[in-house]
Structures are given as structure tokens and as C-alpha cells.
Chains A and B, each alone.
Chain A
Amino acid sequence: MKKRLKTRIGRRQFLRQSLATAGGLTLPLYIRPSALGLQGRVAPSERIVVGGFGLGPRGQEDLRNMLEEPDVQFVAICDAQRERREQVKQIVDRKYGNSDCVMYRHPFELLAREDIDAVLIATGDRWHTLASILAARAGKDVYCEKPCSMTIAESRALAETFRRYGRIYQAGTQRRNIGNFIFAVQLVWSGKLGALKTVHANTLPPATTHEWLPEEPLPPKEEVDWDLWLGPAPWRPYNSRYVRGGWRGFFDFHGGGILEWGSHTVDLCQWANKADNTAPIEYEPVGNHVHALYANGVRLVMRDTGWLGLGTCSVRFEGEEGWIETGDTGRIVVWPESLRGEVPVFTEPGTAPRRHIRDFLNCVKTRSQPAANADVACQSHIACHAAYIAWQLGRKLRFDPAKDEFIGDDEANRMRSRAIREPWHI
């Protein structure tokens, strides 16, 4: 049965205005399959039509991998920056040998398209939850780069929304689909390391700053739509460094170094500890590290030093009878020596998104849950946020994962959410 009504994303008024004033942008709300130039490749019923939000360097890497999948047809890009929109259009048009990739400035323009099944989101962190939730509400499945949320409350809202609307979500953390990390987790589960005692997650220095960069003249909206770029984040004066990727390290835009890599590595630790449906119950800052404790007695150490040098985003799992450490190079070190014989050779880097994207696309079709689904991402992000809050407050915190609530610490509880800038809401 066809959809009876065109999906209203909200703010019809906005759409009417934007459609009327889009100028050079052509904004079809629906593209006929015959216009997609894909006849004979993949049956239309099996084709996944994809749009993108905010695809910078990492997003463009995801995009290139996605374009290699025969059942993907990428049709539109949305970005607050003209230069980025045009970069993506060029990549897509070159791939398809046409000029069909449509550019949008505002998310609602893209989300209003009924033909789009799924979206790839790789904006700055501040937009990840909001864009994902807007997409889910518009009936789209989502592949979103990490970190997926800015706060504990956003993490929970993300998981709830994707369940509510029955949409598929894959966090762009990829390592649950990378061989060496899978092997490390399975080795823990096999019991060959003995009872799991401690899991270690490679993080970066936690600090961010509240400072503002000096104000620069606001560029024309068509070049950089600053209000849109800020999105749900608090207003601050424009500075070009932010929009050129220099937003990292600023509290309003970035969740800090624990979340930056913890969204990968804490996530793997949760997985190894079979703790995907919970989070640690204690968090204690120790310098730039945070030591956490799960209810099952397993310790989680989030640290930026002391690694064996096996690559970025390393993890280490220690049991009573042995340990394993691995990282983005694919290399693995194990103890005791007797385990060496079971270690395969892995060459795929931890940053490679291809398998993770394929996992997502398969789930779009089967409606199964991908490896880094919204529930999984929610809990691992909550662990990272809780750790960062403990670090900011400089004290040990106790946490109730069932309620997403710190125990006996009002200040910590008040840091679980941040009001979102109008007119946005999640």
C-alpha cells in the first residue's frame, strides 16, 4: 500500500518558504526510479535510497564506502556549508556519471523526500542526536557517525526514538564489525582468559573549553548558514575555525576526549563484559583517567596512556588467567603464550567502515538490529558521559544505570542533560 500522506516533517511553513526561496537549488520531493539510472543493477524493491547530512572528511569516507555497495543509490546531500555540499555532490555525480545529486541546506528539505529510505549523518557531534531523531521521525533509517550524543539524556532519547518509530540505527563505530576486535571479545567470552576482571578503554584527554573564539564577520547564509550550523547548540559569535573542523574541544560542540574515543573503546568494553544493556555503577577520576566499576564486579579503566602501541582506539581485556590487547592496526598481543597459536592475522584497520555499512544495509532490509544499534550506543555513550561528568566534578560518583541517575549527587544529576536551543527539540 502506498503512503496515504506525504510525511510531514514538521514546519510546513518552513518548507513552503524554503522551496520558494531556494534559488539555484532544485528540490524535487520525489525522484522516479527510472531517473536514478540503476535499471538492471539491483531490483528496485531491494534498492536503498540514501541521503547525507554534513559529510566532511570522515563522512565522505563513509560515503565512498557506501557508494561501493550495489544496492545503494545516493541521491541528496544536506549541509549548512555550500563548499561541503558541492564536494559531496561532485563525489556522487562522478560515481554515477550524471549530475543528479541534489543539494539542500536545511534538514527538513531532505527529510521531506519520500523516496529516501535512509540517511548517512556525519555532521559535528552537536547535531548527531537531533539529526538522527528528526530522520527517525520522518521514517528514515540512520547510519550516524560517532559520538552519537552530547549528554546522557540525548543518549536515552536516541534509543527511545528509534524503538518508538521502529527504525534502524547504526552508530558509526565500526569496530564491532572489525575482525581483531571481534576476536578479542570472543576470546573473553570463550573463557580462555578466565573470569573477566578488568577492561581497559583507550581514551583521549577529557578536557574541553567553554571559551568563545573571536567574532568574525558572518558569511552569507548560502555560504555558511551559521544558525543552522549551530543547530541545537548554544549561540556564540561566528568564527571560521569552527566550521572548518575546529569545533572539537569546545564544550558546546564536543563531548570531550573520553567520549571521542570511548564511543569506540568503551563500547567494545561493554560488549566484552556482556554489558550492552547497562553501564558502570561507579566512576572515579584519576588524573586524566577514569576508573569505573560494573555491577558484576568488572572494572573499566578509561585511560590515554600506557598502551602497547597497537594502534589508535586500543582495548585490553584482562581475565584471571590471561589478557588480550588490540588496536586499530589489527595487531593483537595475548598472554599467556599458549594463546598465541590461536591468534589469526588481521590486516583490516579499525577505521574501515565497509563491513559496518554492509551490516546496516542488510538490517535496513531485514529489520534486524545492526551491531552498533541505538540501544547499544545509548549505554556505551552513557558510560562515557558519566565518566566525563565525574572528571569535570573531580570526584567519585555512583550511578544507577536503570534510572540513568547519579546516586546522592545533585550537581552530577543536573549535568545529565542540556537544554536544546529553540526551535529544535528531540
Chain B
Amino acid sequence: MVEGHRFHRLLAVLMILETVFLFAGTQLAAQQNIYRAEEEPQLIAVLKSAEAPLFEKAMACKKLAVIGTARAIEVLGQLLSDPQLSHYARFALEPIPSPEVDRVLREAAGRLEGRLLVGVLDSIGNRRDAEAVPLLEKLLESGNEEVVEAAAIALGRIGTPAAAQRLEVAMKSPQIVKRESAARGALIAAERLAAGQPLIALGLYEAIWRADVPANIRMAGLRGVILQRGETGVALLLEQLRSQDEEAFRTALGAAREIPETAGLTEKLVGLMGELPPPRQAKLLSVLADRGNPAARPAVLGALKNPDQEVRLAAVRALGKLGDASAVPALLEVASGADATLAEAAQTVLASLPGREIDEAIVAELGAGSQARQVVAMRLAAQRYIHAAVPRLRKALEAPEAEIRMAAIHALGYTTKLEDLPVLTGRLLTTSNAAERAALEEALRAACPRIPEREACAGHLVEVLEKAPADVKPVIMRLLGVVGGKTALETLVKKCREGDEATRDVATQVLGEWMGTDAAPALLELAKSDLPERFRIRALRGYIRIVRQFDLSDSERVAMSRQALAVATRDAERRLVVELLGRVITSESLELLLSLLDDPQIGQDAQQAAVTVCEKLVASQPAVVREAAQKILERSKDPEVQKRAKAVLKRAR
């Protein structure tokens, strides 16, 4: 399962990289400022030329789409009947702001057939050419179904009362194709007319709703009728929410979210709840949530007690949008209840409801109610980082119930500030309970990196470290690693130098995993020191890790690699350095690798890394690569490296 998750995360990353790679890999021609008005005569000449390649004609059309004038219309109009260029011609013609384009398109629609005609009709519709209405009306009678549909959609886009009237008539046609196409066009026309000619729009919507067309189109008509009727649409909305027709109900659910608030609408929707079966009640609760009127809140809270689980769940989710502080006790009751699905949903809602008032309501719940309720409230205090909960959480640390104490420790990890930190560290020093100690360690790991006063936090931990028993010291040292900063770093370095074997062991581990470049100088010094070998090696590996992973300039990386090579006593660490140098694509990195080509132990690794750098550097620094590749060829006996070196040498020449 975990492996599968990792695999899919890896896959997701690879897909992102694929996008970037494919995109970056495309050889992109300069594409800015390609539209120049002065080029129009040449572009027109290209279109008229019998010899010009298709690509050039296509490009001419694309450019004319942006800079073309009335001068280009004639030749573009002629191309409308060319199967290869008709679309490109429309590409150019559609945006040209001249009535002459409309005339040319209408003229073409009169002579073209089939697919090319369909394209021209689309352009006529996009240009909303009202003069084309009679022509389009005629084409509604075409025997070609694609033409009929294109004509109807164009009429819809034109959207004048005249176009709408043609579509309304066509919706009564005995031919299903014509009826359906006209209804689709009428939906568009109704939108165009809704503001300026609301009665015509309403008439169209009603006609669509009643038409003998597929249900999804009729339902689009129904939505239009509900919304276009204004306040009087509410009655129809409620009627459809009661309808036995499932599609009408679903359509009404959508429309109920769009219809503007009118006096008493929320109350009417709430009142409808009692009439509906539970599955529909649940969906209506979702509508009330989306509408966001707080007047619905009491009904939603009441639904938390509904006998049907689906309704209760919908009510919980609805409170995610409608809930306020008054909903917290009821939600907390659900969140600590026996129904796991409901409890999880309620906890999610309580964790995400915005506002200080919610925080205050949750804090007020701490210290009262059942144990389960207490634990959930503390968990929420943690999830919401409610610092005001700390006094009550401290009190809960003394509770007789272990579960409450553990929950309080966990919550303190997410709510404590610097001044409260001694509560956790003090308890860590004194507790003898293993489970509690583990919880305290986890809480401190959560708390310490969150405290903004990093040095003060580290200072407190150093104080604790000095008085901590031996078995707690490693925990504190690891916390210093989590906190980071100057005080923590200096303390750990000191422990490396002065501590006993066990202390040095932990301190070098922590420094080896340090999250920043500030530890690099200290790690290098430790690697050179007289510490036992295993600690020196650990320090050097920590240093190499920083060079490899952290944000450094290429030149810094190479300089630090040089230092690491100078200190390294074993081939394993030298190999690590060579490997990282293979990822630094600079001449400095290459130079350092070349100096290692003859090394009896790591020479082969250096040859491989060097050829990798050459391959990536060749485009920008061919001269450097030429010389380097020659050296690699002379030294390497590996056929694969030789092959790659030859190839890169060829590119460098």
C-alpha cells in the first residue's frame, strides 16, 4: 500500500517533469511581435500565389487574423471553398472588423455544401450577423443534419428576436434533428435576450421545456424558466423539488443555488424538508449550505438529530458552510459519537470552520463532558493551534484518566508558545511513564520548530540538556537539531568535541542530518579533528550531504567538494564527491573531475562523471569540452565511456 502510494507520487512527479521537459525541449521559434501591419500586402500575395507552400499560406492566414484589413477579404473569401485552406481562411476572416466579411461569408454559405458550409455557418454565428437570419432559416431545411445543427446554433448566437422566432417555429418541426438543433440554438438565443427582452427569453425557455426533445435539453429549458421568471420562479422551483421526475429534481437542485434570495425563500426551502424523503432531504441540506443564508442554521442543526444517517451526515457537512459558534457543542457531540463516519465529518468541519469565536467555543468545551468529548475537543485545539487552550490543557495534564493526559500532551505540542515550553520539558525530566514520555517527545518535536524565538527556544533546551538524566539527553540533542540555529549548532559541536562516546554518537548523528548550510564549516572541522574515525567519517558525510542537497552556487559546490576530497581518507566518501560533481555542470567541476581521471581507485567514477558533465556543457562551452573529452578518451578503458566521449567530442567540433 505504502509502496503503491510512493509509486504514484513518483509517477506524479515524473509527469510534471515530462510536461516541463517536453515543453522545454520543443525548439521554439521566436514568436513575439510576429504580427506586423506593414506585411499585409506580402501576406495577400502569398495567398494569391500558386507556388507558395501550404505552410506559408497557413501562416499568412494566422497573421491576417490579427492585422488583416478589408484589402485581404477578397482573397480570403476565395479560399473558403478550398478544402485545405477553408478553415485557415475563416481563421483570418472571423476577427476582421468589417461588414464586408459578413457579406463574403453569406455569399460562401450560398454556394458551399457539407463540411465547408458547416464551418462557414459557425463563423457567421460567431460574428452574430443578423442579416444572415433568412439564409440560416432556409438552411434549417437542409437534408444535411450537420448543416441544420450549425444553422440553428448560428441563429442562437445571433440571438435577435427574429432569430429566436425562427428557432421557436423550428422546435415544432416533425423532424427530430431540426427540433433538437433548434432547441439548442434557442437556449443560446434566450441567454442573449434575457436582459433586454426578458419576455421573449422566457417564452423561448418555456417552449424548450415543453418541446419534444431529449430530456437534458428540456431540463436546460426548465432551469431557464425558473430563473427567468424571477420571484414567481420560486413556486416552480418548489414544485420541481417535489417532482417525482428525478431529472427535474436534479435540475431544481442546481437552479436552487442560482435563484436570487427573495423574502421567505430560505424558509420555504426549509419547510420543504419535511415533505421529502431522506435522500432528497440530504441534497436539500447541501443546497441550503451553498445558499449560505444563516436563517437555515436552526433547521440544519435540527437535522443533526434526524434518524437517517445520510441526512445527519449532510447536516454536518452543511454546517461546514453555515456553522457558527452556536453549532460547536452539537458538532462536538457528533464528533465524539459512536458513528465513525459522522464523527470524522464533524471533526473535519470543526477543524476548518473559520473564526476566533469557534476557537473560544472549543476552549469553553475543554474540561467538561464525557471523556471522549474531552479528547476530541483537545484534538481540535491542536488542529486549530489554539494557544488560549493552554491553561485548560495544563490542568488536563493532572487528570486521573491516562487518555485525557495523553491528549493534553499532544495538544500542548501544537498550542504552546515559548513561555509554556517548560511545562513539557519539565514533565519530560520527571516522568517515569514510558508512554507519556514518548508522547512528550512527540509533542516537543511538534512544538519546538514552531516557536519563532529560535535562539531562546534552543537556549531553554540547552539548560534542560545540562540537567537531564542520561537517557533524556539524546532526546534533547535531537530537539536541538529540529530547532537549528546558532545556539543549537554550537552546543552540538561542543558535545561532539567534549562529550563521552554516547553523547558524541548522538551529536554527530544530529549534525549529519542538519537542515542548513550553516553546519558545513563545523562538520568539515570535525572531519579533520582527532575524533574517533567513525565520528569523523560521519561528519564528512554530513558535510558532503550539505554540498549535494542544499541551495548553494555551483562555484561554492565545487570549492566545498575540493575541501571534502582533501579531507576524505576513504574511497567511499571520495566517490560520493565525484558523484555530486557529475551533477554540477560547470567548467570548474569538470576541471576537478579531470584531475581525478588517473586515480587508481576512483578514476573510473571520475571518467563517467566527467563525460556526463561534458554532455551537458557541450552546447555552451564546446572548447572546454573538446579538450576534456580528449583527455577522457585517452584515459578511459570503459567502452561505454569511450563511446559517449567520442559522441560528445563530435558535437564539440
- How distant is the Cα of A4 from the Cα of B212 in the complex, in angstroms? 9
B95–A414 touching, CB < 8 Å: yes
Q: What does DSSP make chain B's interface, helix, strand, loop or mixed?
A: helix
Taken residue by residue from 103 to 119, chain B's Cβ proximity to chain A (1 for < 8 Å, 0 otherwise) reads as 00000000000011011
With A392-B31, A393-B33 known as contacts, the answer to whether A343 contacts B94 (CB < 8 A) is no
B273 within 8 A of A: no
- How distant is the Cα of A420 from the Cα of B86 in the complex, in angstroms? 11
- How distant is the Cα of A7 from the Cα of B16 in the complex, in angstroms? 38
B126–A417 touching, CB < 8 Å: yes
B494 within 8 A of A: no
B518 within 8 A of A: no
A423–B146 touching, CB < 8 Å: yes
For residue B55, which residues in chain A have a CB less than 8 angstroms away from its CB? Answer: 212
B28–A209 touching, CB < 8 Å: yes
* Chain A residue with Cβ nearest B89: A419
B214–A248 touching, CB < 8 Å: no
- How distant is the Cα of A423 from the Cα of B148 in the complex, in angstroms? 12
A337 within 8 A of B: yes
With A164-B187, A367-B257 known as contacts, the answer to whether A3 contacts B247 (CB < 8 A) is yes
B15–A423 touching, CB < 8 Å: no
A235–B84 touching, CB < 8 Å: yes
With A11-B146, A166-B251, A250-B26 known as contacts, the answer to whether A234 contacts B32 (CB < 8 A) is no
With A165-B216, A249-B28 known as contacts, the answer to whether A1 contacts B245 (CB < 8 A) is yes
B204 within 8 A of A: no
Taken residue by residue from 285 to 296, chain B's Cβ proximity to chain A (1 for < 8 Å, 0 otherwise) reads as 011011000000
A376-426 contacts to B (CB < 8 Å): 391-394, 410-411, 413-423, 425
With A8-B214, A137-B184 known as contacts, the answer to whether A423 contacts B119 (CB < 8 A) is yes
* Chain A residue with Cβ nearest B23: A248
For residue A8, which residues in chain B have a CB less than 8 angstroms away from its CB? Answer: 176-177, 180, 214
For residue B102, which residues in chain A have a CB less than 8 angstroms away from its CB? Answer: none
A210–B59 touching, CB < 8 Å: yes
For residue A64, which residues in chain B have a CB less than 8 angstroms away from its CB? Answer: 8
B108-137 contacts to A (CB < 8 Å): 115-116, 118-119, 122-123, 125-126
Smallest CB separation, B87 vs chain A (Å): 5
B17-67 contacts to A (CB < 8 Å): 18-20, 22-35, 55, 58-59, 62, 65-67
With A61-B12, A343-B450, A368-B290 known as contacts, the answer to whether A411 contacts B20 (CB < 8 A) is no
For residue B354, which residues in chain A have a CB less than 8 angstroms away from its CB? Answer: 186, 189-190
B283 within 8 A of A: yes
A298 within 8 A of B: no
B-side interface size class: 35 or more
Smallest CB separation, B219 vs chain A (Å): 6
- How distant is the Cα of A13 from the Cα of B450 in the complex, in angstroms? 66
B187–A7 touching, CB < 8 Å: no
Q: Which of B145, B187, B283 contacts A11 (CB 8 A)?
A: B145
* Chain B residue with Cβ nearest A251: B31
A1–B247 touching, CB < 8 Å: yes
Smallest CB separation, A286 vs chain B (Å): 13
A344-385 contacts to B (CB < 8 Å): 344, 349, 351-352, 365-369
B188 within 8 A of A: yes
Q: Which of A165, A341, A418 contacts B385 (CB 8 A)?
A: A341
With A190-B354, A208-B31, A312-B16 known as contacts, the answer to whether A61 contacts B119 (CB < 8 A) is no
B201-230 contacts to A (CB < 8 Å): 212-216, 219-220, 223
Smallest CB separation, B634 vs chain A (Å): 38
A165–B220 touching, CB < 8 Å: yes
- How distant is the Cα of A234 from the Cα of B54 in the complex, in angstroms? 12
* Chain A residue with Cβ nearest B289: A368
With A7-B215, A7-B216, A257-B23 known as contacts, the answer to whether A210 contacts B62 (CB < 8 A) is yes
A58 within 8 A of B: yes
* Chain B residue with Cβ nearest A250: B26
Q: What does DSSP make chain A's interface, helix, strand, loop or mixed?
A: loop
With A7-B214, A210-B29, A328-B16 known as contacts, the answer to whether A414 contacts B122 (CB < 8 A) is no
For residue B119, which residues in chain A have a CB less than 8 angstroms away from its CB? Answer: 419, 421-423
A4–B215 touching, CB < 8 Å: yes
Q: Which of B24, B123, B177, B250 contacts A419 (CB 8 A)?
A: B123
A367–B283 touching, CB < 8 Å: yes
For residue B251, which residues in chain A have a CB less than 8 angstroms away from its CB? Answer: 166
Smallest CB separation, A412 vs chain B (Å): 9
B31–A5 touching, CB < 8 Å: no
With A394-B33, A411-B67 known as contacts, the answer to whether A61 contacts B118 (CB < 8 A) is no
A249–B118 touching, CB < 8 Å: no
Q: Which of A234, A236, A368 contacts B257 (CB 8 A)?
A: A368
With A1-B245, A328-B16, A422-B122 known as contacts, the answer to whether A139 contacts B215 (CB < 8 A) is yes
A248–B22 touching, CB < 8 Å: yes
A422–B417 touching, CB < 8 Å: no
- How distant is the Cα of A165 from the Cα of B451 in the complex, in angstroms? 52
A246–B215 touching, CB < 8 Å: no
Q: Which of A138, A160, A340 contacts B450 (CB 8 A)?
A: A340
For residue A392, which residues in chain B have a CB less than 8 angstroms away from its CB? Answer: 31-35
B286–A368 touching, CB < 8 Å: yes
A248–B26 touching, CB < 8 Å: yes
B629 within 8 A of A: no
Interface size on A, residues (CB 8 A): 86
With A7-B215, A349-B13 known as contacts, the answer to whether A341 contacts B283 (CB < 8 A) is no
- How distant is the Cα of A321 from the Cα of B222 in the complex, in angstroms? 50
B441 within 8 A of A: no
B215–A366 touching, CB < 8 Å: no
B590 within 8 A of A: no
- How distant is the Cα of A112 from the Cα of B205 in the complex, in angstroms? 24
- How distant is the Cα of A418 from the Cα of B20 in the complex, in angstroms? 26
With A12-B177, A341-B385, A411-B66 known as contacts, the answer to whether A166 contacts B223 (CB < 8 A) is yes
A245 within 8 A of B: yes
B335 within 8 A of A: no
Q: Which of B97, B153, B223 contacts A410 (CB 8 A)?
A: B97
A123-144 contacts to B (CB < 8 Å): 137-139
- How distant is the Cα of A137 from the Cα of B219 in the complex, in angstroms? 11
Taken residue by residue from 314 to 357, chain A's Cβ proximity to chain B (1 for < 8 Å, 0 otherwise) reads as 00000000000000100000001111111110000101100000
B260 within 8 A of A: no
* Chain B residue with Cβ nearest A422: B119
* Chain A residue with Cβ nearest B21: A248
- How distant is the Cα of A336 from the Cα of B453 in the complex, in angstroms? 11
A44 within 8 A of B: no
B271 within 8 A of A: no
* Chain A residue with Cβ nearest B30: A207
With A64-B8, A186-B354 known as contacts, the answer to whether A10 contacts B16 (CB < 8 A) is no
For residue B177, which residues in chain A have a CB less than 8 angstroms away from its CB? Answer: 8, 12
B134-169 contacts to A (CB < 8 Å): 145-146, 149-150, 153
B278 within 8 A of A: no
A204 within 8 A of B: yes
- Among A13, A165, A205, A366, chain B packs the most CB atoms within 10 A around the CB of A366
Query: Measuring CB to CB, which residues of chain A are less than 8 angstroms from any residue of chain B?
Result: 1, 3-8, 10-13, 45, 57-58, 61, 64, 137-139, 153, 160, 163-166, 186, 189-190, 204-205, 207-212, 234-236, 245-246, 248-251, 254, 257, 260, 309, 312, 328, 336-344, 349, 351-352, 365-369, 391-394, 410-411, 413-423, 425
Of the A-B pairs whose beta carbons lie under 8 Å apart in the complex, a sample of 17, sorted by A's number, is A3-B214, A5-B213, A57-B11, A205-B24, A234-B88, A235-B87, A309-B551, A341-B451, A349-B13, A352-B9, A366-B253, A368-B289, A369-B257, A418-B65, A419-B119, A422-B86, A423-B150
Query: Measuring CB to CB, which residues of chain B are less than 8 angstroms from any residue of chain A?
Result: 8-9, 11-13, 15-16, 18-20, 22-35, 55, 58-59, 62, 65-67, 84, 86-88, 90-91, 93-97, 115-116, 118-119, 122-123, 125-126, 145-146, 149-150, 153, 176-177, 180-181, 184, 187-188, 191, 212-216, 219-220, 223, 244-248, 250-251, 253-255, 257-258, 279, 283, 286-287, 289-290, 354, 385, 417, 449-454, 551
9 tightest Cβ-Cβ pairs between the two chains A and B: A249-B26, A422-B119, A139-B216, A351-B12, A414-B95, A337-B452, A367-B253, A341-B450, A366-B286
